């Protein structure tokens, strides 16, 4: 699949090399776009904006979708706003400055899709995201390999619980989980 936002991915890599910050880029934007297109979400929550690459992919994949994206770095959000504006997507993406847990505590449910692409997911953050999902919402979770051992164990137990999650085909060469929320 063609990646219309490859230039943002490249800009993110250059930014990381220059600043040494946490603005890593997601490696499989086309699969994220395809997933968004197939799920047709009305509302999407993204944790980890960086320079806006995946926010563009998510919004582009489903044209009516509204995306809320969170990042704690004001420079990243300014750069993301420029990329989103240039892509013609700024009217469908709302940028939130702050820590994930602080911002999500002030968001209103319900999201059809959530994408975690921050440094490492914590069980507490994932639980709060789960609460914000619709009864059959989808969680896309990257960077599980960056979680500390205790968090990784808790998340593995949670994600393997068939009463809570149903596994869908992973993306990013199997590195990013895709899970549908199960509601009893």
> Is residue 1 scored above 70 in pLDDT?
no
- 151-160 pLDDT, tens digit each: 999 999 999 9
Q: What total of structural domains would you count in the chain?
A: 1
Q: Which domain holds residue 88?
A: 6-181
Global confidence as pTM: 0.96
- 13-51 pLDDT, tens digit each: 999 999 888 888 999 999 999 999 999 999 999 999 999
Enclosing H/E stretch for 75: helix 74-86
Q: Could you say which DSSP state residue 36 is in?
A: H
1 within a domain of the structure (yes/no):
no
Q: Which residues face 96 on adjacent strands?
A: 70
Whole-angstrom CA distances from 175 to 65, 92, 112, 145 are: 25, 28, 22, 8
The CATH number given to whatever domain includes residue 117 is 3.40.50.150
146 within a domain of the structure (yes/no):
yes
pLDDT in the model for residue 20: 85
14 within a domain of the structure (yes/no):
yes
Average pLDDT over the chain, rounded to an integer = 95
């Amino acid at each position: 699949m063609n990646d219309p936002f490859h230039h943002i991915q490249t800009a993110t890599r250059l930014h990381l090399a220059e600043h040494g910050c946490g603005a890593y880029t997601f490696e499989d934007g086309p699969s994220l776009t395809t997933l968004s297109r197939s799920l047709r979400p009305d509302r999407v929550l993204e944790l980890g904006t960086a320079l806006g690459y995946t926010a563009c992919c998510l919004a582009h994949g489903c044209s009516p979708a509204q995306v809320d994206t969170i990042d704690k770095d004001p420079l990243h959000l300014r750069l993301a706003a420029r990329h989103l504006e240039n892509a013609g997507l700024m009217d469908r993406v709302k940028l939130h400055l702050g820590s994930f847990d602080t911002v999500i505590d002030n968001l209103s449910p319900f999201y059809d899709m959530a994408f975690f692409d921050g440094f490492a997911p914590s069980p507490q953050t994932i639980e709060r995201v789960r609460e914000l999902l619709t009864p059959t919402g989808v969680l896309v979770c990257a960077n599980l390999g960056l979680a500390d051992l205790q968090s990784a164990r808790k998340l593995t137990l949670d994600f393997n619980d068939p009463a809570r999650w149903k596994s869908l085909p992973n993306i990013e060469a199997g590195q990013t989980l895709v899970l549908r929320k199960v509601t009893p």
